[in-house]
A and B are shown apart, each in its own frame.
Chain A
Amino acid sequence: MPNTMNQVATLTQVTETPNALAEFLRGLPGVDAVGADQRAASLATRSIKTESKRRAIDLAISMIDLTTLEGADTQGKVKAMCAKARHPDPLNSEVPHVAAVCVYPDLVAIASKELVGSGVAVASVATAFPSGRADLQTKLSDTRFAVSQGATEIDMVIDRGAFLSGDYLKVYSEIVATKSACGDAHLKVILETGELATYDNVRRASWLAMIAGADFIKTSTGKVTPAATLPVTLIMLEAVRDFREQTGRMVGVKAAGGIRTAKDAIKYLVLVNETCGPDWLTPQYFRLGASILLNDLLQQRQKMITGHYSGPDYVTID
């Protein structure tokens, strides 16, 4: 685009004062909730069969951020999950590895050790996940620690309280600071759309994160219901699509939480395909944050090869 540089400059200018930023975000076109829900529902009726289903399943596996974010997580649990991330189906080496594992910062070291040379990235949540209720210094040291332990991707949460009270500049500054604390690590910004409540807010938060330098925008922590939904993901995909048109920069989208079945995962891929096009259909630009989804994908994959369902004992539970 000829005037891309100008537009980048304009977008930086909108962050110079709180009012300019608020005006910019409120000036984005609104989202009609009924229409957005309808569009997502109509894309969900796409029928993905045979060869396209086979490819979609492998693509979905390769886009998974295999996640464990429990207070009860242990080194043993993380090791087991890393083994699964490398070889999702131990009996079939054709199954691709997942995109990343996602753990708490204190378990990053063990995960990066387990995944050396595997091509699987290590992602860590940070910035006082999941609530984000801490001072900036704590959030930044949380981030630096995760990076120092070997995390190459950081999943930060935004300050939803600040966002909902209209203090957009605070949210913006925290993202900028976290991005800088990340160094070379990729930054995924979790909007926690379940707490933002309206689609207009989802669109505004998406733009706010992208202007602040997010490499990915992510729906949810998985700790709040609703987590990822098709319409919310649709709105975020529209945002990254429009952001590229304006600035030339591609931002990824991660749908996380509540995606449990292969059928659901394929609906998300259709959404990506028909909203942003094939450029986004790669683990570099689209991720699925999930845990039990992987096993359903594996079972569906086996079913496509053998023609019958194997049952839960034929996939590993790690």
Chain B
Amino acid sequence: MNQSFEYSPAPESRAIVNLATSYGLFIDGKFAQGQDGAPFKTIDPATEEVLAEVWGAGPKDVNRAVTAARKAYNQTWRKTSGRERGKYLYRIARIIQERSRELAVLESLDNGKPIRESRDVDIPLVAAHFFYHAGWADKLDYVGLGSSPSAYGVAAQVIPWNFPLLMLAWKVAPALAAGNTVVLKPAETTPLSALWFAEICQQAELPNGVVNIITGDGATGAALVSHPDVDKVAFTGSTEVGRQIAISIAGTKKSLTLELGGKAANIVFDDAPIDQAVEGIVNGIFFNQGHVCCAGSRLLVQESIADAVIDSLKRRLSTLRLGDPLDKNTDIGAINSAPQLAKIVELAKSGELDGANKWQAPCQIPEKGYWFAPTVFTNVTQSHRIAREEIFGPVLSTLTFRTPSEAVEKANNTPFGLSAGIWTEKGSRILQIASQLKAGVIWANTFNRFDPASPFGGFKESGYGREGGRQGMLGYLRPRGK
């Protein structure tokens, strides 16, 4: 009775998400159409179907949003006690938990990520970030800046499309806990969950103007971060844009944190727990279609076990299920946008031209939408583009090493320094290698695990400042009176 065990489609209900046909901007506690700029459409990358029309905010809209945030800061939020701010954050966290199912579906629709991830990773972490930071709101004396540290004032926050609501939580929760007001711009291709978050702020009766959400493209973001009445800029996204922002605000009073790209090394030693290391490699680079700034995109495997690890990895990748993001059994969803797909295709091509060997997991690519099969390059060298540039897609570059010091050299030989992974059963080796790696986050025998209490951020071209934990709070506070 040998039979294949095909899983029938198990789609999460799309009907639980009621989308409006168009959305305005959320300024001063109200949704309203923008005054300048122009509307644009956001699509489901798995079907290319239009989900809704949103407003691309122009300079006037940006100005209104910053003005509303300034007014709310001066008139309300700076006079609200930490304990009261904490209550609002707890309330938001609870509403997110209550509405987690629809938020997960919405996130998968707009982003293309599998419902399994939005349901089990994104949304629970979003709630966790609000809960965690709610606890900080009345304990700012203990953040390490002396008693009664001051908020900056108005925080301008620009976030990427890979974890839309989670990146919002990383930014908004500490900002509000510290007593700042916020103008946030979600990514052009994933604006919807931020607009729903605006609704949640209304539901939580957060005072008007404390959180403002303006949608739009890069021009909107540029107008926001360069607005003269902004005190603090926080950006997560590409290194190129981060560099432009740093240049544009140089010489101003604005404080800046940047969380940028990465090209993380996932280092597997010959005494690693192989089966779990293979899982870690998969989670490292194929989680969220590789749209993860801290993705373990460079596998550094000890030469003595390289063949065995690559064979196991290929076997494991052959079981990954690519397809409808709303199917509960989908492991790999859609690439977020056509331009991102083009970039992945181009870099994968360069890998082949540079002489690396390409292997792709066998899977049926749907006719519509943007897709890229899980891909592994072997025989990659440090001088190949796919070993140096951030691909931000489901593409793994595999390199080998012979000794621990060679592993460290290769791991650090990159302009980035966001994260790294170490796989070995030997505890002393974990500590020894970790102390030599130039990366903000180092995982040992695991990968891509996040917790609001753990600071996240990079070295070198991966940015500066930390998000999460006590260190993350420092990005939104300064010593009293400064």
Interface of A toward B, CB cutoff 8 Å: 29-32, 34-36, 38-39, 45-53, 55-56, 59, 62, 235, 238, 269-270, 273-274, 278-279, 281-283
- Are B10 and A47 in contact, with the CB atoms below 8 A? yes
Q: Which 3 A-B pairs have the closest CB atoms?
A: A35-B276, A47-B10, A47-B328
**Residue in chain A with minimal CB distance to B2:** A282
* Contact status of A30 and B271, CB under 8 A, knowing A35-B276, A35-B446: yes
Binding site for A on B (CB under 8 A): 1-10, 116, 120, 271-276, 279-280, 319, 328-329, 425, 445-446
Complex contact B1–A36 (CB within 8 A): no
**B8 contacts which of A35, A38, A52, A283 (Cβ < 8 Å)?**
A52
Q: Interface residues of A: mostly helix, strand, loop or mixed?
A: helix
Please report the C-alpha to C-alpha distance between residue A53 and residue B271 in the assembled complex, in whole angstroms. Answer: 40
Which among B6, B279, B425, B446 is the interface contact of A52 at CB below 8 angstroms?
B6
Would you give the shortest CB distance from B426 to chain A, in whole angstroms? 10
How far, in whole Å, are A270 and B6 apart by their CA atoms in the complex?
10
Compute how far the CA of A47 lies from the CA of B329 in the bound complex, rounded to whole angstroms. Answer: 6
Instruction: Give the distance in Å from the alpha carbon of A59 to the alpha carbon of B329 in the complex.
Output: 20
Q: How far is the CA of A47 from the CA of B13 in the complex (A)?
A: 13
Contact in complex: B8, A29 (CB < 8 Å) = no
A283 to B2, CA, bound (A): 9
Asked, given contacts A31-B276, A32-B273, A35-B445, whether A48 binds B2 with beta carbons under 8 Å apart, the answer is: no
CB contacts (< 8 Å) of A238 on chain B: these are 275
Q: Which residue of A lies closest to B280 (CB)?
A: A35
Min CB distance B104 to A, Å, is 13
What's the count of A-B pairs with C-beta under 8 Å? 83
In the complex, which of the residues A32, A45, A279, A282 contacts B445, with contact meaning CB atoms closer than 8 Å?
A32
Residues of A within 8 A of B319 (CB): 274
The 8 listed contacts between A and B (C-beta, < 8 Å) are: A35-B446, A38-B446, A39-B276, A52-B7, A56-B5, A62-B1, A281-B2, A282-B1
Residues of the A chain whose Cβ atoms lie less than 8 Å from the Cβ of B2: 278-279, 281-282
Are B276 and A283 closer than 8 Å at their CB atoms?
Answer: no
Q: How far is the CB of B281 from chain A (nearest CB, A)?
A: 11
Minimum C-beta distance from B21 to chain A (A): 31
Given contacts A49-B10, A274-B319, is CB(A32)–CB(B276) below 8 Å?
A: yes
Residue pair B445, A34 in contact (C-beta under 8 Å): yes
Rounded to whole angstroms, the CA-CA distance of A39 and B274 in the bound complex is 13
Option from A35, A36, A273 in Cβ contact (under 8 Å) with B5: A273
Question: CB-nearest residue of chain A relative to B282?
Answer: A39
In the complex, the answer to whether B1 meets A269 with C-beta atoms within 8 Å is no
A48–B7 touching, CB < 8 Å: yes
Q: A59-B3, A235-B275, A278-B4 are in contact. List 6 more A-B contacts (CB 8 A).
A: A30-B271, A31-B275, A35-B275, A46-B7, A52-B8, A281-B2
A271 to chain B, nearest CB (A): 11
Q: Which of A30, A49, A59, A279 has a CB less than 8 Å from the CB of B1?
A: A59
Residues of A within 8 A of B272 (CB): 29-30
With A and B bound together, what is the CA distance between A281 and B274 in angstroms? 24
